[in-house]
Amino acid sequence: MCSFQNPDNRISILQMNSDLEHAQLELLGAHCAVHQLRLRYSSDDLARFGRRDVLHKSAEAAASLHKFYAAIEDKVPNAAPIPPVPQPSAEQIAQAIEWLAGYLREQREHYFPLATPLTNEVKARMWPFFSADLLDGIRIIELRGARVRVPEFFAKVRALGFEPPQITHMDSVTFLDIVAFNQSLSERALFHALVHTVQIDVLGLQRYAELWVHGFLKTRTHFTVPLEVHAFSLSSKFLHPMPERFSVEDEVVRWVADGRY
């Protein structure tokens, strides 16, 4: 019997694919952490000064993951080669930057009348990391499953052979000084979103959109765009059980000065 016709098997295939996607997301998280390491330190320094046991265990884990997935890929019947992604023209890149900046501005205006300030309790959790001025100016909206609007230009981006980020699956989306939560506020998602607000403040919206688009063209995944890598890594620092106090603005200014975006 064909396994797809058996409802029980259909459910387990759905479950398997959901588990597969979950593992892929975790891998992208690991990819993002390693990418950051690579940006910061040379392989020579890591080899010389890195803790040997940690290096050894990391290399072992990466090799065993590679072995596992490569063996599965070998079994995929008639695996069609993934077509190379065409390089967009300078005009297309400029257009994508305009689309992104326009979308962020427009959604900011859309949500502004409904958005509310942060509560004092939330501000108190965030103040060791962000300035009081920034926290006072932020407005938030909890969509509780209604989800932010997928921009129309995503279809055009897809037609060019790129897979745009799945913004309806993100916990939060930053529209300049407005943070929209697809579900409800979580500290991790708020922190991540506020890092983007600081990046936009420091860089200006136009430069932020330029760096985001160029980073995406270079790395092809949302998680490895340097602006995102920084937001992910600072929010994990914040979530550390005993977080050290640090200024997100100083961190962002440092990354801008070092040309790391």
Contact residues for Zn ion (CB under 5 A)? 228, 231
Question: Token pair for residue 231?
Answer: 């937001």
Tell me the closest approach of the beta carbon of residue 133 to Zn ion, in angstroms: 22
User: Is the Cβ of residue 107 or residue 242 nearer to Zn ion in the bound state?
Assistant: 107
Tell me the closest approach of the beta carbon of residue 66 to Zn ion, in angstroms: 28
Integer Cα distance of 173 and 26 in angstroms: 20
User: Is the Cβ of residue 105 or residue 188 nearer to Zn ion in the bound state?
Assistant: 188
User: Is the Cβ of residue 97 or residue 172 nearer to Zn ion in the bound state?
Assistant: 172
Tell me the closest approach of the beta carbon of residue 232 to Zn ion, in angstroms: 7
Tell me the closest approach of the beta carbon of residue 169 to Zn ion, in angstroms: 12
User: Is the Cβ of residue 148 or residue 231 nearer to Zn ion in the bound state?
Assistant: 231
Tell me the closest approach of the beta carbon of residue 27 to Zn ion, in angstroms: 18
User: Is the Cβ of residue 97 or residue 195 nearer to Zn ion in the bound state?
Assistant: 195
